Chain A
Amino acid sequence: MQNLALTLLLLPMFGAVIAFILGKINSKLAFWIAEIIGLALFLITLKLFMGFNEPIDIPMTWFTLGNFTIPFGIYIDELSLVMLLIATGLGFLDIHFAHDYMKKDPSQARYYAKVLFFIGGMILLVSAKDMISLFTGWEFMGLASYLLISFWHESKEPADAGMSAFLFTRFGDIFLFGAIGLLFYTSGSLDLVNLNTMATSGMIDKDMIYIISIFIFIAAIGKSGQFPLFPWLMRAMEGPTTVSALIHGATMVNSGIYIVARLFDFYVAGEALIIVAVFGAISAFIGATSALVQNELKKVLAYSTMSHLSLAFIGLGAGSLAAGMSHLVNHAVFKALLFLSAGAIIMSASHVKDLWRFGGFSKKMIGVAIFMGLGALSLSGIPPFSGFYSKDAIIATTLLNPQTNGLISTLTIIAGVLSVAYISRVWFLTFAGESRDKELFEKVKTPSFFWITLPLAIMAITTLTLGFFQDDIAKLVSGKVYEEPHVEYVLVSLLSAIVFVAFIIYMYYVKRLDITKKVASQPLMKAIHKVLFNGYYVEFFIHYFSREVVVGAGAKTINWIDTNLVDASVNGVKTLTQKIYRLFGKTHSGYAGDNSGAMIIGLLILLVILISGGAM
């Protein structure tokens, strides 16, 4: 088992190198290597999962620093295995899908190498035993995400988007880095399981637990695209859609939730969960409302990802590990499905992303329409799809917890209901009605079944069947037998709200576009639209702050000090010495070259004297 686990960790890294080298010879080779390794990783994970009886624990030492030992251990338990299944399973399907999606790209070797590297990073993250290996995986993924977002680096937007993604997530990462130092100082241990026990038993100072929890949560916010560090996630849509599906929909963005779940007892002991819930609720609301008005297909999905990850955070924050993590699992599957469907649409529609130029696409690709519809149903929370169970559980948890009952639960419900609105809007605008851009519609091709529609079908079936295994998933991720919380009236009222909202959206966007235009031209609606469309101007504020305050004021001031105070005082000394120089300057040329020449001669003379003196 241990060897299998180590293979799992190393295989993608070697695979990345091999795919790159052989891919330079023939780009088809890169694909096939990635495909085979992707499948192998999934099978290995499956074998680990089937044969699981106790956690695989491989403690290792990375290096010794003076009298400290820095660990780098591997620990795979049920929670890790669930995450591993997501990462390798979706990773494999994503690679398979990329066969057609990336077909015409000249640098496929680079693409598949980076994707494999990414999967390796994700595997490392979820199999980490301690903060060091976790942080390493965390940063590997961040790097892979940066490189893949700016995959088409020759144009401006992807390059900008990559930079934005790296800096936003890096801002969170340094808090995680700081947390490592603080943990080392306060507890002397970096072991994740150990930390939970120590925190619960009160061996660590409570205030420190709180501070460290907040530090780690800031990192989680950055990685999972939560308020206020979410703008990078929307920009990340500049990358290939297969990348958005895997990294920015299904796997990497989950790592923020994963880390909170991993240290759940730590958060409980530090009483920091309420912060998680508050930020989750804000993000859920922002994401759901902004998703409503986006014009780009992928941007809707990005805001939807933000909003749904927030639901998972709310679930954790309201105190239910099982509800939060089940939602993460369910979301990963249906969001990958939705993103890849979007990829199929975009690819077939000559890389147009604008929803308003779509319409009536179901005539061209009925398969994609059906499977994306199933994904949309799961996202909306219709039973028996998996999305329903976890969403219901999260809402019920927030209502039952006195701390979150009130504003947080209201925001959660709003976000839950709005998710029906935005996803049905996307589906109707794309597949229903008549085409709004005839020229584009003519060019739309029917995607291939084996490479494109088949992975979608597999995901659609998975999201449906997962619904029947919710209790098992909950048990796996929380390690406890799980009783789903129920609040009787929630189910009925939620369902009726969903149907009602879907109907309105259908009328509004498909049947009566004339009304839509009238409503949209109202000044108030215009203003609201603008705020929502720009993601509440959060990105604008952050950019303004970093450009004007950090660079414009901070760095500029320091630069001024350096030129006018520090360096000037040195030059002042020089002027002074020059004056003295001129006084005695007749015998000295003033050139350092002459001085040093004289120095060498002097030294040589000295040397000769010494050698003769030393011999005596």
Chain B
Amino acid sequence: MSAIEFIFAPLVLALVLSLVTRGNNSLSKYISLILFAFMLSFSINLFSQLPSKGYLDLGSFLAVKKFDFILTLQVDQLSVVMLVLTSSLLILVALSSWSMKNQAMYFNLLIAFSGAIFGVFMSTNFLWFFIFWELTLVPMYFLVGIWGAERRVYAAVKFFLYTHVASMFIILAFFLIHKESGTFDMTLVKESLLLSPVLIWWLLFIGFAVKLPIFPFHTWLPDAHVQAPAPISVLLAGVLLKMGAYAMIRMVILLLPETSQQYAWIILALGLITLFYSGFMAIYETHLKKMVAYSSISHMGLVVIAISTMSYAGLSAAVYEMLGHAFIIAPLFLIAGFLHHKTGSWQMQDMGGIMQKAPYISAIFVLAGLGALGLPGTMGFVGELSILISAIKADGVWMAVVALGSMVGAGYIIWMFRRVVYGEMSEIVQKTKFSMNPMEFLSLIIFAIAIVLFGLFPNILFDIINPIFVQYTFLGGAL
């Protein structure tokens, strides 16, 4: 299959499948798993074909030359890393949704989502990028709105509108770019060609900041996470937020380096605020999943700090942390959702002593939590260390405050362990039976292995990440 088929085949497949499958028909489930496996092998295969510098051309399609409306598919290392991350997460999300209710429709939407997200990471035409960017929202909206918790409609609408407004900024910026440089091809645009780079920078920055999310545009995320079913939270945190970070790196930092340099302090300040602000929100939170959601935002704050350094090491650290965050936050969300499913409560005080009832699930929960607070041996530590080092190198001694972030992290994580996993069993926990679908458990184990494996041997990932930014010589510290 060629690249374009990986975008449109899932979209068509989803349509066809939704005509033939109904209710709990498990056909879509197996098809989706096979499809995602194909996508993963396709993405890994791309690695071997990548040139050491620049883009790999995967063809242009659907051209309307007059409007410069061409679906150009080109990938570089950064996009391939995102593709691999996305497709492997999709597989794990499919596994962890194994016993989902009304699953035919659910998996059809997931398949549609996979096509759209591949489009986001492969297209280098601004307009098509934007179309796919928006298209990812549609299945997401339904996945949250139909399979979500009590206030799912409120959350889904808030999520949809919020990111939709942000998209206005983005499309405006794209049209401005086209007006000033005469092209929609992001590989051809140069900052020097633009007349109003500052305006474009702000439009793009705000647009992507909502997705990331950066304070003060973050309030949609806790609501969406809380109401979304657990596997969809994993997709939200693992893929949708990464879309924001990916776009931020590609279209803000790498496309507009000079303006970004000028406003790096704003990115840095917002990153620091996000880190501590959501950390403290997490400390105060008693709602288990909301706490995990704030922890997720807090970690994205670290990614933003790393991006703001605009250095070779910093951007590599940002990409590593993006991967680390995806693998660490996923089991936290999945287990939080599982516990809610079993106990019927989100409140941490209703839980307690779960270790006695479900030792292995709790152990994975603890492992992921330790990853979130940055314990050596997990991906969290490597990410935090890399970001600390690159931030201090780029912005000086006072950036040691980043280390304080992991104290805040320890605060809410360890306290959460105390309230949820350890201690005496609450009445609810005593009455509950914690049995998990083996497929869901399998996905948790894979996440756990990834956290430790890439945490102990980060070079497996850095060998892939480091070459991404070598070619951008304007970055600080680049070779």
B62-75 near A? 1/0 per residue, CB < 8 Å: 11100001000000
A600 within 8 A of B: yes
A596 neighbours in B (Cβ, 8 Å): 137-138, 141, 160
**Chain A 145-174 near chain B by CB (<8 Å), digits 1 or 0:** 010001001111001101100110011001
Query: Which one of B92-100, B176-184, B310-318, B337-345 is at the interface?
Result: B310-318
In the assembled complex, the CB of A121 is this many whole angstroms from the nearest CB of chain B, namely 10
Q: What are the residues of chain A within 8 A of B418 when measuring CB–CB?
A: 159-160, 162-163
* Bound CA span A184–B277, Å: 27
Q: Does B313 lie within 8 Å of A592, measured CB to CB?
A: no
What are 8 residue pairs bridging A and B, where the CB atoms are less than 8 Å apart in the complex? A132-B385, A143-B375, A150-B422, A159-B423, A555-B280, A567-B219, A593-B142, A614-B63
Number of residues from A at the complex interface, CB < 8 A: 63
Residues 380-431 of B at the A interface (beta carbon under 8 Å): 381-382, 384-386, 388-393, 396-397, 399-400, 402-404, 406-407, 410-411, 414-415, 417-418, 421-425
Give min CB distance, A576 to chain B, whole Å: 12
Interface with A: B193-201, B234-242, B458-466, which one?
Answer: B458-466
Q: How far is the CA of A159 from the CA of B462 in the complex (A)?
A: 38
The reply to whether A614 and B64 form a contact with Cβ atoms under 8 Å apart is: yes
Q: Which residues of A contact B399 (CB under 8 A)?
A: 181
Max chain B Cβ within 10 angstroms of own Cβ: one of A63, A150, A180: A63
Pairwise interchain contact A592-B458, C-beta atoms closer than 8 A: no
Minimum CB–CB distance for B69 against chain A, Å: 7
By a CB distance below 8 angstroms, the chain A residues around B355 are 153-154
Given contacts A64-B466, A65-B313, A592-B141, contact A551 B459 (CB under 8 A): no
Q: Is A63 a contact of B382 with CB atoms below 8 Å?
A: yes
Task: Determine the chain A residues whose CB is within 8 A of the CB of B353 once the complex forms.
Answer: 153-154
A322 to B220 CA separation, bound complex (whole angstroms): 60
What residues on B are CB-neighbors of A550 within 8 Å?
283, 411
Q: With A and B bound together, what is the CA distance between A220 and B109 in angstroms?
A: 53
B407 touches A66 (CB 8 A): no
The chain B residue sitting closest to A570, CB to CB, is B219
A119–B422 alpha-carbon span in the complex (Å): 24
Q: Does A579 contact B (CB under 8 A)?
A: no
A135 is an interface residue with CB less than 8 A from chain B? yes
A150, A153, A184 — which one has the most chain B CB atoms within 10 A of its CB? A153
Interface size class of B (residues with CB under 8 A): 35 or more
Q: Which residues of B contact A (CB under 8 A)?
A: 61-64, 69, 131, 134-135, 137-138, 141-142, 145, 156-157, 160-162, 215-216, 218-220, 277, 280-281, 283-284, 311-317, 320, 353, 355-356, 370, 373-377, 381-382, 384-386, 388-393, 396-397, 399-400, 402-404, 406-407, 410-411, 414-415, 417-418, 421-425, 458-459, 462, 466, 469, 477-479
Check if A167 sits within 8 Å of B284, measured CB to CB: no
Closest Cβ–Cβ distance, residue A244 to chain B (whole Å)? 19
Asked, given contacts A140-B377, A567-B219, whether A184 binds B160 with beta carbons under 8 Å apart, the answer is no
B400: which A residues are within 8 A, CB to CB?
178, 181-182
Q: Are B423 and A153 in contact (CB under 8 A)?
A: yes
Among the listed stretches A263-271, A372-380, A460-468, A556-564, which one makes contact with chain B, having 4 or more residues with CB under 8 Å of it? A556-564
Q: Are B281 and A558 in contact (CB under 8 A)?
A: yes
Across the interface, do A184 and B392 meet the contact criterion of CB distance under 8 Å?
Answer: yes
Using a CB–CB cutoff of 8 Å, the interface residues on chain A facing chain B are: 62-68, 70, 132, 135-136, 139-140, 143, 146, 150, 153-156, 159-160, 162-163, 166-167, 170-171, 174-175, 177-178, 180-182, 184-186, 208, 550-551, 554-556, 558-559, 562, 566-567, 570, 574, 591-593, 596, 599-600, 603, 607, 610-611, 613-614
| Chain A residue contacts of B138, Cβ below 8 A | 596, 599-600
Contact A63 B459 (CB under 8 A): yes
| Alpha-carbon separation in the docked complex, A70 to B112 (Å) | 41
CB pair A66–B469 under 8 Å, yes or no, is: yes
Report the separation of the CA atoms of residues A386 and B277 in the bound assembly, to the nearest whole angstrom: 52
Q: A153-B422, A163-B415, A182-B400 are in contact. Are A592 and B407 (CB under 8 A)?
A: no
Residues of chain B within 8 A of A185, CB atoms compared: 389, 392-393, 396-397
Q: Which of A63, A155, A551, A610 interacts with B283 by CB under 8 Å?
A: A551
Q: Cα distance A150–B397 when bound, in Å?
A: 37
A566 to B161, Cβ gap below 8 A? no
B318: min CB distance to chain A, Å? 11
Q: Which of A66, A166, A591, A613 contacts B477 (CB 8 A)?
A: A66
Say whether B417 contacts A143, CB under 8 Å: no
